[in-house]
Amino acid sequence: MKTYFFALATLALGMNLQAEELFSPDNQIKLNVDLDNQGRPFYELSYKGKEVIKRSGLGLECKENISLMNGFSISNISKTSFDETWAPVWGEVKEIRNNYNEIELSLTQKKEKRDIVLRFRVYNDGIGFRYEFPEQKNLNYFVIKAERTQFAMNGDHKAFWLPGDYDTQEYSTMISKLSEIRGLMSSAITENSSQTPFSETGVQTALQMKSDDGLYINIHEAALINYSCMSLDLDDKNMIFESHLTPDVQGNMAYMQTPCNTPWRTVMVSDDAREMLSSKLILNLNDPCAYDNTEWIKPIKYVGVWWEMITNKASWAYCDLPAVKIGETKFDMLTSNGRHAANNENVRRYIDFAATHGFDAVLVEGWNVGWEDWFGKSKDYVFDFVTPYPDFDIKGLNEYAKSKGVKLMMHHETSASVRNYERHLDNAFKLMVEHGYNSVKTGYVGNIIPRGEYHYGQWMVNHYQYVLEKAAEHKIMINAHEAVRPTGLCRTYPNLIGNESARGTEYESFGGNNPDHTTILPFTRLMGGPMDYTPGIFEQNLSKVSPDNKSWVNTTIARQLALYVTMYSPLQMAADIIENYERFPDMFQFIKDVPVDWQDTKILEAEPGDYITIARKDKNSENWFVGCTVDENGYNSTISFNFLTPGKKYEATIYSDGKNAHYRNNPQDYQIKKIKINSKSKYTQKCAPGGGYAISIIEL
Ligand code: NOJ
Ligand code: CA
């Protein structure tokens, strides 16, 4: 009799409480959450009445027979709303509105006496949700074997995808239907032969998709802290993605101790591609700034002793070891032959150039002992990050830079010997402070040491975080290359001023990037935060820079200017060698003028894989800058200047492709013209295949 009453009570509770719905503040997005009759949580998402995520399962499997998959009932529900405007330390806009409706579902496994919380936030442009694990007796330490968060698609969408990989994002983006991923995986791999995708249908986030009925859907994560990075595995019969975490050397996904939580899983949706690019959902899901004082954090425009090594004109190393092959080119980067670029004379030349043209900093790579055998050797004790080569006078050069109002940017290539980097980190940062460096580019090329760990596992996620917070103690900004893809952490830790985590301009020297690459990255990699893409390459024929280099930079010269606007970053490099800027002083003027911090941003035109046109307003003036990047087909861009202040007059300087420009055979055909405009003006510009344009707009 007792049992009977209990069952009835559960049923009644179930009928009342086991399905919930929540709308976005503008009511366009609807979230449903429910428990099935096994007590497994599910969610479902629609936008303007169209299904975005079909009913999808949630849950985690853990070691030692802890299953957080089912057997749950809802013990409490609380709904709240939030609306706040905050100011980022740096950004695309000076103020960000964080407005969502939230549902907190407390779930209990009665038998095991375990509680978890599912928290969903519904914004006008998507949702974020995460698992939270309160402190409790029966769930203290636990190890995650698999997170089983599903994202069931409502069709065979077009996807912009990279093979799922635990160690790199430096792939060319594949564009295909979801059903075609399996068939294309091997060609995606062949092109990047050194990489190792984890499955035939695994892809990375941020994954951008487009449905047949015109919805743009993006899946990523936010606030990746003390957890492993998520990729997605596709069940391509049913079009269901499931979260796929990065394992550690033992095959475990994450080590947890309550109270704790997973990162946010995000789904953004809109029927306008431009809204994907203006979304601040991922930043909003991160915590507010963790630092009281942020005055030391400043956007940076820089040049560097860099492209000459990337193109193989010069070497990182001071002395000799045999050459290695990357793509078609044999790189002598370990072999100096007297070509060591980070020498006093060359660095001074870059400092002078930076000072003359108003750059903040000069990156110098190859300044320190260790480059002789840093690559491919899995060497544990590799760099010590404090011993300069004999031809790099660290004190004198920093003093010289200071006298010219310029800073040197430090470089810490770790060669992925991470335990070695942590061994030396304190001294490395002290040396920086002693000489006046305030930023460092870090790098993680190669297989991680401790051996068997992956770039995107929890162990490495914690390392990047450790370096970031340690750097903050020394007022140092970090630009991490090869690190885990960003998830909006720069809101909380704004000294994370840059990240690579994708195929950057360097690949233009290792075989080339697809001409549509920069029309895709803002929809994928940049969703989580800025990228140090290192634009500004004026000479496309790299054999002119370095005779043995067979690569071609797949862009027109005008498009390179546009990237300073379209590839948002508070850290922008003018990456080419000085000699190439001196050949095109009129085009270089735009790079000198373009700011790296903004008060406002308008996405004017956007279609992933085809074109992106963006206007941004300087943080500190009334000036606007426009950039447009297009794919291999070219594009007629039509924009309106209605973002300008009515009644004011402006002069626009337009740096565009010339009539006969083409990224392959005529990339240096360009035009510069000045016109007068106001907020009622409209403008049409023909962009060449692989081309684009940039405009600087000065208030008169
Ligand atoms: C790869 C980085 O992306 C590149 O910028 C750097 O120059 C090399 N590693 C060497 O550290
Ligand atoms: Ca890289």
C-alpha–C-alpha distance, residues 615 and 57, integer Å: 40
Vertex 316 angle, CA 313 and 317, to 5°? 115
445 CB less than 6 Å from ligand 1? yes
The stretch 11-36 carries a mean pLDDT of 81
The conformational region for residue 640 under phi > 0 = left, psi -120 to 50 = alpha, else beta, is beta
Which atom of ligand 1 is found nearest the CA of 306? Answer: 7
The two structure tokens encoding residue 614: 């963006």
**Torsion angle, CA of 338/342/347/350, rounded to 10 degrees?**
100
The stretch 99-103 carries a mean pLDDT of 98
Active-site residue, from 170, 413, 453, 506 = 506
Which residue, 71, 75, 95, 73, is CA-closest to 84? 95
Domains and CATH numbers, the chain: 3-284 (2.70.98.10), 286-499 (3.20.20.70), 502-700 (3.20.20.70)
Helix, strand, coil: what percent of the chain each, to 5?
20, 35, 45
Structure confidence by residue, pLDDT tens digits, 430-469:
999 999 999 999 999 999 999 999 999 999 999 999 999 9
pLDDT of residue 335: 61
506 CB less than 6 Å from ligand 1? yes
The stretch 615-644 carries a mean pLDDT of 98
DSSP string, 541-579: BGGGTSTT---B--S-HHHHHHHHHHS--SEEE--S-HH
| Nearest Cα residue to atom 6 of ligand 1 | 443
Mutate to test the pocket of ligand 1, among 167, 169, 302, 365 (most ligand atoms within 8 A of CB): 365
Distance 672 CA to ligand 2 centre (A): 33
Q: What is the band of 330 on the pLDDT scale with cuts at 50, 70, 90? A: low
Residue 306: φ, ψ to 5°: -150, -60
**Which runs of E-coded beta strand occur in 449-513?**
477-480, 496-499
Q: What is the band of 483 on the pLDDT scale with cuts at 50, 70, 90? A: very high
Structure confidence by residue, pLDDT tens digits, 422-433:
999 999 999 999
Side chain identity, residue 223: A
C-alpha–C-alpha distance, residues 116 and 131, integer Å: 7
The two structure tokens encoding residue 24: 């976005």
Structure confidence by residue, pLDDT tens digits, 349-374:
999 999 999 999 999 999 999 998 89
The two structure tokens encoding residue 41: 């949580």
Do 387 and 369 form a contact (C-beta atoms < 8 A)? Answer: yes
Residue-averaged pLDDT of the chain? 94
Question: Whole-angstrom distance between the N-terminal and C-terminal Cα of the chain?
Answer: 86
Which atom of ligand 1 is found nearest the CA of 411? Answer: 11
Beta bridge partners of 300: 571
C-alpha–C-alpha distance, residues 15 and 11, integer Å: 6
Mutate to test the pocket of ligand 1, among 506, 509, 513, 573 (most ligand atoms within 8 A of CB): 506
Examine the pLDDT at 14 and tell me if it is beyond 90. no
pLDDT of residue 189: 81
3-class secondary structure, 460: helix
Q: Which residue's structure tokens are 């290192």?
A: 534
308 CB less than 6 Å from ligand 1? no
Q: What is the band of 377 on the pLDDT scale with cuts at 50, 70, 90? A: confident
Structure confidence by residue, pLDDT tens digits, 498-549:
999 999 999 999 999 999 999 999 999 999 999 999 999 999 999 999 999 9
Which ligand has its closest atom nearest to the C-alpha of 315?
1
Beta bridge partners of 598: 618
C-alpha–C-alpha distance, residues 282 and 526, integer Å: 11
DSSP string, 128-177: EEEEEE--BTTBSEEEEEEE--EEEESS--EEEE-B-BSS---SPPEEEE
Residues 6+ apart with CB under 8 A from 11: none
User: Which of 53-67, 166-180, 319-333, 685-699 bottoms out in mean pLDDT, i.e. has the lowest?
Assistant: 319-333
Residues 6+ apart with CB under 8 A from 374: 316, 334, 382, 383, 413, 415, 445
The two structure tokens encoding residue 581: 């800027």
Task: Please list all protein residues whose beta carbon sits less than 5 angstroms from ligand 2, which is an ion.
Answer: 481
Do 212 and 145 form a contact (C-beta atoms < 8 A)? Answer: no
C-alpha–C-alpha distance, residues 615 and 157, integer Å: 29
Q: What is the band of 9 on the pLDDT scale with cuts at 50, 70, 90? A: very low
Catalytic, 506? Answer yes
Strands 624-630 and 670-677: unpaired
Mutate to test the pocket of ligand 1, among 305, 414, 481, 505 (most ligand atoms within 8 A of CB): 481
3-class secondary structure, 286: coil
Q: What is the band of 415 on the pLDDT scale with cuts at 50, 70, 90? A: very high
248 CB less than 6 Å from ligand 1? no
Which atom of ligand 1 is found nearest the CA of 443? Answer: 11
> How does DSSP classify residue 343?
-
Instruction: Read off the pTM.
Output: 0.95
Structure confidence by residue, pLDDT tens digits, 110-169:
999 999 999 999 999 999 999 999 999 999 999 999 999 999 999 999 999 999 999 999
443 CB less than 6 Å from ligand 1? yes
Which atom of ligand 1 is found nearest the CA of 500? Answer: 3
Q: What is the band of 319 on the pLDDT scale with cuts at 50, 70, 90? A: confident
Distance 500 CA to ligand 2 centre (A): 7
> How does DSSP classify residue 666?
B
